[in-house]
Chain A
Amino acid sequence: MIKIRQFIHSFGWPRIIIGLFLLSLFIIAPFVGVKISTSLSDTLIRFGMNGVMVLAMVPMIHSGCGLNFGLPLGIIAGLLGGTLSIQFGFTGGTSFLMAIILATPFGILFGWGYGKLLNRVKGGEMMIATYVGFSSVAFMCMMWLLLPYNHPTMVWGYTGSGLRTTISTEGFYLHALNNFLQFRIGEKFLFPTGMILFFALMAFLVWAFLHTKTGTAMTAVGSNPVFARASGINIDRTRTMSVIMSTWLGAIGILVYQQSFGFIQLYMGPFYMALPAVSAILIGGASVNKASIANVVIGTFLFQGILTMTPSVMNSIIHTDMSEVIRIVVSNGMILYALTRKAEVSR
């Protein structure tokens, strides 16, 4: 009994409720005519799409920079990489590779500036990160209009300048990862092998990095800055590095998302992309200053599972789509829960 109570305490009520909710959705699904195989396949695809962006939370949480509400900045680096790759005329799988390569310098540059800024505002990172994300999106709104892109598939037809709001990735890197080694089980179940493998690779890289000397230093900075300073770690440098990593992962994350989704969403598109990623990792069991790869995997699966299952199941039961409202309440409720936990506040 005590063990159960301890488990509940360490896992947290909200997570258990969310887990049970998802479980009940899966149980109800066959009775209301929703195919489990389709849902499971959709969940897996969405898991692959969003996984890397959730992974982008990990380095910053480790170094004590809090939740990366500034994810849109990384996304912008990814958008720049993607659009430049198309602009330079790469097609097919190459364009995806080139997009990653082109996004990297932007990711590093943005992350470096963002990290320097966050070093000057220790203690208030999360709020400032949120607004750094917002203002960079708004700034790029102007830039998308002004930058000299001229590839015919990307710019507005009638003026010949200014990028479109949504750009199709068809013919470029659409399903570059999805189709890699993809296989079917039965009629409805599709397994996006390439995307899952890519996520696994990224997760492994992050995991391996966190176990190198620099990686452990990062964890030390996050968990005990005084001790870290005493043992001769350059705190600011380590933090900047974690922010660069997070930003770069955000850039890669959005590219993975786009290759599956099929569209590049510019302008206000990246505006609210941080919140789902933040709540996903929190649902997985992370807190404001502790996160692991397992949290990412569990959290993304649970969160995306709810997102795929609620619309179809709810629709079949009460003929209304309440999924959006449920998403808003669940994701923000989860963030709220994490922000208010006493144990983690006093570190």
Chain B
Amino acid sequence: MSKLRETKGQKLFNVIEKNAVPILFIIICAIGIPFSGYSLNYLGQEIITRIGRNSFLIIALLIPIMAGMGLNFGMTLGAMAGQIGLIFITDWKIGGIPGMILAMIISTPISAILGWMCGKILNMAKGREMVTSYIIGFFINGVYQLIVLYGMGPVIPIKDPALVLPRGYGIRNTVNLIGIRRSMDNVLAIRIFGLSIPVLTLVVIAMLCFFIIWFKKTKLGQDMRAVGQDMEVARAAGIKVEHTRIVSIVISTILAGYGMIIYLQNMGTLNTYNSHMQIGMFSIAALLVGGATVNKASIGNVFLGVTLFHVMFIVSPMAGKNLIGQAQLGEFFRVFVSYGVITLALVLYEIRKRRARYKTGRLLAQDQADMKEVDV
């Protein structure tokens, strides 16, 4: 097939339109940073901390996108599994890196089961995976609350009075993760130009990146891409479509569980009943800010996204205060931007899907016209 002939203006428009979200964010940040009055050193430190804290979670979103299942709003399931692991190790008083590893080991089967369930349900709702995975997150949140708020204590033994509510069952609203607090970040931490860099965390993230790159080249990864391109073609080629889709969600959920543990070791406290609900939304927003779309995302998008999104997040309350005199306005602004960017990305994705169809039509017409000229 030949290439579609376009004018320069059209090409430029395409480039801008393709990167609309990151460009918009660069502008927001460029305006916000001077008004916030934060020093670059402070911002640099915050960005490094937040890259270490959030990247793992965001990378967990990549595999379902590869398999054509869109943004995995069901990553909250993994986050819940990770939190259950953390509750157990806090009760058992296991700390440091061993504590984190043990929490990961506990979270893995829970994530796998939840992910498998989520994958099964998503296979029943092809074509609307995103809204379904979103509702699954809410549904399992109810089950999670049932277990953590009523089951832990009488059914699942939790002894530590610092964890259990005074009434004798259920986990407290906030759990202090003093045992594993910063335990990963502080290993091999170095200081460069006054910025402290959590080397081990970054190494782990880099390893995950290599895993993703390697995974794309495996048979399973190739299958996933094929399924993501076209389910029917993949099925005709002998790929087990349903199975492949489930596996992609299971991997994503397990990774999200690990990501949540890394995230919370940096935070140091666990908000038992809402940490996991927020994290899905913010991870997805950050990935989209980095220029990812519903069907295409790379590791580059992850890091660009974390940086831009979090600069906006740090800067906006102070910028709001200095610009209009209300810090709260800045807080609302960043919430609005988080939701707005997801909306924008979803809308652009749907519009592009339509335009791609239209473009194919035009290409066909152009080819036919060319043929006619040859005939004449």
Q: State whether the Cβ of B35 lies closer than 8 Å to any Cβ in chain A.
A: no
Chain A, Cβ-Cβ closest to B328: A145
Chain A stretch 137-184: residues in CB contact (< 8 A) with chain B = 138-139, 141-142, 145-146, 162
CB atoms of B135 and A336 under 8 A apart: yes
Q: State whether the Cβ of A185 lies closer than 8 Å to any Cβ in chain B.
A: no
Cross-interface CB contact of A130 among B134, B141, B326, cutoff 8 Å = B134
CB atoms of A117 and B347 under 8 A apart: yes
Known: A121-B351, A141-B332. A329 touches B134 (CB 8 A): no
A289 → chain B closest CB, angstroms:
12
Cross-interface CB contact of A127 among B333, B335, B336, B346, cutoff 8 Å = B346
Chain B stretch 130-157: residues in CB contact (< 8 A) with chain A = 130-132, 134-136, 138-139, 141-143, 145-146, 149-150
Known: A135-B339, A275-B138, A332-B142. A127 touches B128 (CB 8 A): yes
Chain A positions 255 through 289: 1 when the CB is less than 8 Å from some CB of chain B, otherwise 0: 00000000000000000000100000000000000
Known: A121-B347, A329-B146. A135 touches B128 (CB 8 A): no
A40 → chain B closest CB, angstroms:
27
CB atoms of A145 and B332 under 8 A apart: yes
Chain B stretch 307-337: residues in CB contact (< 8 A) with chain A = 326, 328-329, 332-333, 335-336
20 residue pairs of the A-B complex, CB under 8 angstroms, read A117-B347, A120-B347, A121-B346, A126-B131, A130-B134, A131-B346, A135-B340, A142-B329, A142-B333, A145-B328, A145-B329, A322-B146, A322-B150, A329-B143, A332-B139, A332-B142, A336-B135, A339-B125, A339-B131, A339-B132
Q: State whether the Cβ of B342 lies closer than 8 Å to any Cβ in chain A.
A: yes
B76 → chain A closest CB, angstroms:
12
B182 → chain A closest CB, angstroms:
32
Chain B, Cβ-Cβ closest to A341: B124
Q: State whether the Cβ of B102 lies closer than 8 Å to any Cβ in chain A.
A: no
Q: State whether the Cβ of A309 lies closer than 8 Å to any Cβ in chain B.
A: no
Q: Main secondary structure on chain B at its contact with chain A?
A: helix
Give the size category of A's interface with B: 35 or more
A23 → chain B closest CB, angstroms:
22
In the A-B complex, the 10 residue pairs with the smallest Cβ-Cβ separation, listed nearest first, are: A328-B142, A121-B350, A138-B336, A329-B142, A332-B139, A340-B124, A135-B339, A131-B343, A141-B332, A332-B138
Q: Which residues of A contact B (CB under 8 A)?
A: 69, 117, 120-124, 126-128, 130-132, 134-135, 138-139, 141-142, 145-146, 162, 275, 320, 322, 324-326, 328-329, 332-333, 335-336, 339-340, 342, 345
**What B residues does A335 contact at CB under 8 A?**
135
Q: State whether the Cβ of B121 lies closer than 8 Å to any Cβ in chain A.
A: yes
**What B residues does A336 contact at CB under 8 A?**
121, 132, 135-136, 139
Bound together, the chains give a CA A275 to CA B126 distance in angstroms of: 21
B127 → chain A closest CB, angstroms:
7
Bound together, the chains give a CA A326 to CA B127 distance in angstroms of: 29
Q: State whether the Cβ of B219 lies closer than 8 Å to any Cβ in chain A.
A: no
Q: State whether the Cβ of B354 lies closer than 8 Å to any Cβ in chain A.
A: yes
A155 → chain B closest CB, angstroms:
14
Bound together, the chains give a CA A121 to CA B294 distance in angstroms of: 14
Known: A145-B328, A340-B121. A120 touches B139 (CB 8 A): no
- Given A141-B336, A328-B145, 8 more A-B residue pairs with CB atoms under 8 Å apart are A122-B350, A124-B350, A127-B346, A134-B339, A138-B338, A325-B145, A328-B139, A328-B142
| A126, A134, A141, A339: residue with the most chain B Cβ atoms closer than 10 Å | A339
A147 → chain B closest CB, angstroms:
12
Bound together, the chains give a CA A12 to CA B270 distance in angstroms of: 39
CB atoms of B335 and A332 under 8 A apart: no
CB atoms of B328 and A345 under 8 A apart: no
Known: A135-B339, A325-B142. A120 touches B350 (CB 8 A): yes
Chain A, Cβ-Cβ closest to B140: A332
CB atoms of B342 and A131 under 8 A apart: yes
A270 → chain B closest CB, angstroms:
13
**What A residues does B135 contact at CB under 8 A?**
332, 335-336, 339
Known: A139-B336, A328-B145, A345-B126. A128 touches B343 (CB 8 A): yes
Bound together, the chains give a CA A339 to CA B138 distance in angstroms of: 14
A197 → chain B closest CB, angstroms:
34
Chain B stretch 339-373: residues in CB contact (< 8 A) with chain A = 339-340, 342-343, 346-347, 349-351, 354
B29 → chain A closest CB, angstroms:
19
Chain A, Cβ-Cβ closest to B170: A320
Bound together, the chains give a CA A130 to CA B135 distance in angstroms of: 11
Bound together, the chains give a CA A145 to CA B327 distance in angstroms of: 11
Bound together, the chains give a CA A135 to CA B340 distance in angstroms of: 5
**What A residues does B354 contact at CB under 8 A?**
120
Bound together, the chains give a CA A133 to CA B343 distance in angstroms of: 9
Cross-interface CB contact of B350 among A128, A162, A340, cutoff 8 Å = A128
Bound together, the chains give a CA A19 to CA B292 distance in angstroms of: 44
A277 → chain B closest CB, angstroms:
14
Bound together, the chains give a CA A186 to CA B372 distance in angstroms of: 87
| B128, B136, B340, B342: residue with the most chain A Cβ atoms closer than 10 Å | B128
